[in-house]
C-alpha cells in the first residue's frame, strides 16, 4: 500500500551565494539555487524515499518555474503550488571560513508568498493523502495572510488526525506586519504534536525560562512548561551546536517525550561545506524516523546523523540517502572512497 504524504508549507526563495568563500562586497558573480526551510524538509524526505509535497506561492514567471522545477527534480509533489504575485524573495549567502562567520542578507519584502490569503488554499484537498504536516515559525512571521493560511492548515490537519510538527524558530527581524510573535505563535503551537524548540525560542516566543541552572535540567524544565501550556504537544526536540569555527562545528540532539530526555552522541563536523539547512535536515530525518521506526531514540539518532551529512552537501537541501545516514549511525565517519 502506498505511503501517505508529508506535506510542508512555506516560502521558497532564490538563493544567491558567493563562490569560493568570496565576500559579498567583492563578488562579481553568484551561484544560483532555490531554498526555504520547509521545502528543504520536503526535498530531504523525498530523498529518503517518503512521499512529500510542498505548498507555496510563486510569481508566474521564469523564476517561479525554475523553483518549481527544482522541487520536481528532487521528487517533491508540486501540484498544490499557487502562482501569482509580483516577485520571488531572495537571500544572499556569504559563506564563512575559519574565524569569519557566514552571513545572510535578505531581500524578501512583498513576495508572492507574503501576499497569500487564507481562501487561496484548499487544505481539505491538500491533505487528502497526507499523514504529516510540517511548518516553521518563519511562515507566520512573513505576513498576516501567511499566518492565517498556516492557522487554517493546522486546524484542517487536526480535524483529519494528521500529525503536525513545527520548528518554532524565532526570527525577530521578520515580524514587521504589526503583530508580535507572542500574539500569533501560541495559537499555532496549540495544534502541534511535535515541535523543535531551544531555550532561546521558548523565552522569546512564550516567555518561558528554565527553573533549573544545569543544562540538562534547564531543558527539561522548559520542555515541561511548554507541555503544561500546550497539552497536545507530546514531543519536543532540539539540537545543540558547538562552534569551534565557521569550518568546524559539533552537533548533538535531544528529545523530550514527557517522561525522559533522550540524547545522541556528539558529532565532530569539519570541514563544513554548507551548514544552511542543517536544522531542516534534522527535522526531516526525525520525521522519517517517527514514520518508519516508531522509536524515539532511533528517530533522534537518525535525525542528527542526517543533519551531520547535510553539512557536507552544497545548497539548501539534504540529498542524503537512508543508506548513507545509516552508515553514519553505524560509525562509518571516515569518508573513505566508495567504489
Q: Identify the pLDDT of residue 337.
A: 59
Q: Is residue 337 assigned to a domain?
A: no
**DSSP letters spanning 177-246:** SS--HHHHHHHHHTT-SEEE--HHHIIIII----S-SSHHHHHHHHHHHHHHH-TT--EEEEEEEEEEET
The CATH number given to whatever domain includes residue 253 is 3.40.1190.20
End-to-end CA distance of the chain: 34
Q: Catalytic site residue 60?
A: no
Indicate which residue of 167, 193, 280, 296 is catalytic. 280
Q: Is residue 339 assigned to a domain?
A: no
Q: Is residue 276 assigned to a domain?
A: yes
Q: Is residue 97 assigned to a domain?
A: yes
Residues 117, 74, 279, CA angle at the centre, nearest 5°? 70
Please tell me the total count of domains within the chain. Answer: 1
pLDDT per residue as tens digits for the range 161-217: 999 999 999 988 889 999 999 999 999 999 999 999 999 999 999 999 998 778 889
Q: Taking the model in full, what pTM does it have?
A: 0.95
| Residues in the chain with pLDDT values less than 50 | none
Q: Is residue 71 assigned to a domain?
A: yes
Q: Identify the pLDDT of residue 211.
A: 85
Q: Is residue 333 assigned to a domain?
A: no
Q: Identify the pLDDT of residue 339.
A: 65
Pairs from 260-264 (Cβ < 8 Å, separation ≥ 24): 261/216, 261/219, 261/220, 261/223, 262/296, 262/297, 262/300, 263/300, 264/300, 264/301, 264/304
**Could you tell me if 57 and 29 are in contact, meaning their C-beta atoms sit under 8 angstroms apart?**
no
Q: Is residue 137 assigned to a domain?
A: yes
**Could you tell me if 316 and 277 are in contact, meaning their C-beta atoms sit under 8 angstroms apart?**
yes
Cα 43 to Cα 212: distance, rounded to the nearest angstrom: 38
Q: Is residue 49 assigned to a domain?
A: yes
Cα 311 to Cα 287: distance, rounded to the nearest angstrom: 19
Nearest to 128 by CA among 91, 164, 156, 106: 156
CB-based contacts of 310: which residues, under 8 Å, 6+ apart? 44, 274, 275, 277, 278, 280, 281, 318, 320
Cα 105 to Cα 31: distance, rounded to the nearest angstrom: 15
Q: Are strands 5-9 and 52-55 parallel, antiparallel or unpaired?
A: parallel
Which range of residues forms the domain containing residue 83?
Answer: 5-327
Q: H/E/C letters for each residue in the chain? A: CCCCEEEEECCCEEEEECHHHCCHHHCCCCEEEEECHHHHHHHHHHHCCCCEEEECEECCCHHHHHHHHHHHHCCCECCCCEECCCCCCEEEEECCECCECCEEEEECCCCCCCCCCHHHCCHHHHHHHEEEEEEECCHHHHCHHHHHHHHHHHHHHHHCCCEEEEECCCCHHHCCCCCCHHHHHHHHHCCCCEEECCHHHHHHHHCCCCCCCCHHHHHHHHHHHHHHHCCCCCEEEEEEEEEEECCEEEEEEEEECCCCEEECCCEEECCCCCCCCHHHHHHHHHHHHHHHCCCHHHHHHHHHHHHHHHCCCCCCCCCCCHHHHHHHHCCCCCCCCCC
Amino acid at each position: 500500500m502506498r505511503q501517505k504524504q508529508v506535506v510542508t508549507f512555506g516560502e521558497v526563495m532564490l538563493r544567491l551565494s558567493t563562490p569560493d568563500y568570496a565576500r559579498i562586497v567583492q563578488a562579481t558573480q553568484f551561484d544560483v539555487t532555490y531554498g526555504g526551510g520547509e521545502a528543504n524538509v520536503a526535498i530531504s524526505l523525498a530523498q529518503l524515499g517518503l512521499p512529500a509535497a510542498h505548498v507555496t506561492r510563486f510569481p508566474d514567471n521564469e523564476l517561479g518555474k525554475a523553483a518549481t522545477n527544482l522541487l520536481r527534480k528532487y521528487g517533491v509533489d508540486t501540484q498544490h503550488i499557487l502562482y501569482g504575485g509580483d516577485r520571488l524573495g531572495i537571500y544572499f549567502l556569504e559563506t564563512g571560513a575559519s574565524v569569519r562567520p557566514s552571513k545572510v542578507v535578505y531581500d524578501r519584502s512583498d513576495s508572492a508568498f507574503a501576499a497569500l490569503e487564507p481562501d487561496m488554499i484548499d487544505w481539505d484537498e491538500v491533505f487528502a493523502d497526507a499523514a504529516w504536516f510540517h511548518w516553521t515559525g518563519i511562515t507566520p512571521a512573513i505576513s498576516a495572510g501567511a499566518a492565517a493560511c498556516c492557522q487554517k492548515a493546522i486546524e484542517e490537519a487536526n480535524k483529519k488526525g494528521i500529525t503536525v510538527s513545527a520548528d518554532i524558530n524565532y526570527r525577530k527581524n521578520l515580524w514587521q506586519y504589526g503583530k508580535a510573535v507572542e500574539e500569533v505563535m501560541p495559537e499555532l503551537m496549540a495544534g502541534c504534536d511535535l515541535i523543535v524548540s531551544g531555550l532561546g525560542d521558548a523565552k522569546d516566543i512564550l516567555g518561558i525560562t528554565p527553573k533549573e541552572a544545569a543544562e540538562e535540567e534547564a531543558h527539561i524544565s522548559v520542555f515541561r512548561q511548554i507541555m503544561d501550556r500546550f497539552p497536545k504537544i507530546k514531543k519536543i526536540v532540539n539540537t545543540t551546536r558547538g562552534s569551534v569555527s565557521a569550518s568546524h562545528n559539533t552537533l548533538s540532539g535531544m528529545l523530550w517525550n514527557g517522561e525522559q530526555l533522550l540524547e545522541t552522541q556528539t558529532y565532530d563536523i569539519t570541514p563544513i561545506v554548507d551548514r544552511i539547512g542543517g536544522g531542516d535536515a534534522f527535522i526531516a530525518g526525525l520525521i522519517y524516523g517517527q514514520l518508519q521506526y516508531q522509536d524515539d531514540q532511533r528517530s533522534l539518532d537518525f535525525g542528527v546523523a542526517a543533519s551531520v551529512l547535510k553539512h557536507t552537501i552544497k545548497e539548501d537541501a539534504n540529498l542524503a540517502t537512508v543508506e548513507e545516514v545509516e552508515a553514519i549511525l553505524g560509525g562509518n565517519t571516515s569518508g573513505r572512497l566508495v567504489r
